[in-house]
Amino acid sequence: MGRHYRGDIEGKFWFGVQESTDANFFGVKGEVEDIVYHFGENQLEDINKGLDSCYDYLGENRKRLKLFFKERDMYDDEELIGYWKKEYNEDIDVKEILLWYARMILGEKIKKSVEEKGHCYFKAEV
Protein backbone atom coordinates (compact mmCIF):
# COMPACT_ATOMS: atom_id res chain seq x y z
CA MET A 1 0.00 0.00 0.00
CA GLY A 2 1.18 3.51 -0.66
CA ARG A 3 1.06 6.29 -3.20
CA HIS A 4 2.66 5.51 -6.54
CA TYR A 5 3.55 7.45 -9.64
CA ARG A 6 3.30 5.84 -13.06
CA GLY A 7 4.05 6.89 -16.62
CA ASP A 8 7.43 7.51 -18.23
CA ILE A 9 8.90 6.96 -14.78
CA GLU A 10 7.55 4.80 -11.98
CA GLY A 11 8.05 4.64 -8.27
CA LYS A 12 6.51 5.04 -4.88
CA PHE A 13 6.45 8.18 -2.77
CA TRP A 14 8.18 7.68 0.56
CA PHE A 15 5.59 7.10 3.28
CA GLY A 16 5.50 9.84 5.89
CA VAL A 17 8.29 11.72 4.12
CA GLN A 18 7.25 12.78 0.63
CA GLU A 19 4.06 14.44 -0.58
CA SER A 20 2.38 13.46 -3.87
CA THR A 21 3.13 16.98 -5.13
CA ASP A 22 6.88 16.71 -4.57
CA ALA A 23 7.62 16.84 -8.32
CA ASN A 24 6.36 20.47 -8.23
CA PHE A 25 9.81 21.22 -6.77
CA PHE A 26 11.31 20.61 -10.22
CA GLY A 27 9.35 23.35 -12.01
CA VAL A 28 6.04 21.86 -13.21
CA LYS A 29 2.79 22.03 -11.26
CA GLY A 30 0.81 18.80 -11.34
CA GLU A 31 -2.84 18.70 -12.39
CA VAL A 32 -5.16 17.43 -9.68
CA GLU A 33 -7.09 14.21 -10.50
CA ASP A 34 -4.39 12.02 -9.72
CA ILE A 35 -1.67 14.62 -10.10
CA VAL A 36 -0.51 14.65 -13.70
CA TYR A 37 2.99 15.85 -14.54
CA HIS A 38 4.34 16.71 -17.99
CA PHE A 39 8.02 17.61 -18.15
CA GLY A 40 9.79 18.44 -21.39
CA GLU A 41 13.20 19.53 -22.51
CA ASN A 42 12.24 23.14 -21.79
CA GLN A 43 12.10 22.22 -18.07
CA LEU A 44 15.62 20.75 -17.94
CA GLU A 45 17.04 23.96 -16.47
CA ASP A 46 14.49 23.87 -13.62
CA ILE A 47 15.06 20.14 -13.12
CA ASN A 48 18.82 20.71 -12.89
CA LYS A 49 18.34 23.61 -10.47
CA GLY A 50 16.15 21.43 -8.30
CA LEU A 51 18.68 18.60 -8.37
CA ASP A 52 21.51 21.00 -7.55
CA SER A 53 19.52 22.15 -4.50
CA CYS A 54 19.12 18.51 -3.45
CA TYR A 55 22.83 17.80 -3.94
CA ASP A 56 23.80 20.96 -2.05
CA TYR A 57 21.51 20.15 0.87
CA LEU A 58 22.62 16.51 1.11
CA GLY A 59 26.34 17.06 0.52
CA GLU A 60 28.35 14.07 1.76
CA ASN A 61 25.17 12.59 3.25
CA ARG A 62 24.09 11.63 -0.26
CA LYS A 63 26.79 8.94 -0.40
CA ARG A 64 26.09 7.92 3.19
CA LEU A 65 22.38 7.40 2.51
CA LYS A 66 23.13 5.48 -0.67
CA LEU A 67 25.32 3.09 1.35
CA PHE A 68 22.63 2.73 4.02
CA PHE A 69 19.88 1.89 1.53
CA LYS A 70 22.10 -0.33 -0.63
CA GLU A 71 22.02 -2.93 2.15
CA ARG A 72 18.31 -2.61 3.06
CA ASP A 73 14.90 -2.99 1.50
CA MET A 74 13.17 -1.78 4.66
CA TYR A 75 14.17 0.44 7.56
CA ASP A 76 12.72 2.46 10.39
CA ASP A 77 13.80 5.82 11.77
CA GLU A 78 15.47 4.32 14.83
CA GLU A 79 17.56 2.01 12.66
CA LEU A 80 18.76 4.93 10.54
CA ILE A 81 19.49 7.06 13.62
CA GLY A 82 21.47 4.21 15.20
CA TYR A 83 23.41 3.56 11.99
CA TRP A 84 24.23 7.26 11.65
CA LYS A 85 25.43 7.52 15.24
CA LYS A 86 27.55 4.37 14.94
CA GLU A 87 29.06 5.06 11.51
CA TYR A 88 29.46 8.85 11.60
CA ASN A 89 29.11 9.78 15.27
CA GLU A 90 26.54 12.43 14.30
CA ASP A 91 22.88 13.12 14.97
CA ILE A 92 20.50 13.15 12.02
CA ASP A 93 17.19 14.89 11.30
CA VAL A 94 15.64 11.80 9.71
CA LYS A 95 12.50 13.40 8.28
CA GLU A 96 14.32 16.33 6.69
CA ILE A 97 17.23 14.37 5.22
CA LEU A 98 14.95 11.65 3.84
CA LEU A 99 12.69 14.25 2.24
CA TRP A 100 15.66 15.66 0.31
CA TYR A 101 17.00 12.19 -0.55
CA ALA A 102 13.62 10.95 -1.82
CA ARG A 103 13.17 14.20 -3.76
CA MET A 104 16.61 13.75 -5.34
CA ILE A 105 15.73 10.22 -6.49
CA LEU A 106 12.49 11.49 -8.04
CA GLY A 107 14.30 14.36 -9.75
CA GLU A 108 16.97 12.04 -11.15
CA LYS A 109 14.26 9.81 -12.65
CA ILE A 110 12.52 12.83 -14.19
CA LYS A 111 15.80 14.13 -15.65
CA LYS A 112 16.79 10.76 -17.08
CA SER A 113 13.42 10.36 -18.79
CA VAL A 114 13.56 13.87 -20.29
CA GLU A 115 17.12 13.35 -21.52
CA GLU A 116 16.37 9.93 -23.02
CA LYS A 117 12.84 10.46 -24.37
CA GLY A 118 12.53 14.23 -24.61
CA HIS A 119 9.73 14.20 -22.05
CA CYS A 120 8.55 12.76 -18.77
CA TYR A 121 4.86 12.18 -18.17
CA PHE A 122 3.46 10.53 -15.08
CA LYS A 123 0.47 10.43 -12.79
CA ALA A 124 0.96 10.62 -9.04
CA GLU A 125 -1.64 9.18 -6.69
CA VAL A 126 -3.01 11.68 -4.21
Separation of alpha carbons 67 and 86, rounded Å: 14
pTM of the complete model beyond 0.85? no
Please state, in angstroms and as integers, the Cα–Cα distance from residue 49 to each residue in 43, 104, 111, following that order.
10, 11, 11
Structural domain spans, the chain:
4-124
**Per-residue pLDDT at 1:** 56
The rounded mean pLDDT for the chain is 91
Give 53-85 pLDDT, tens digit per residue.
999 999 999 999 999 999 888 888 999 999 999
Phi and psi at residue 12, in whole multiples of 5°?
A: -130, 130
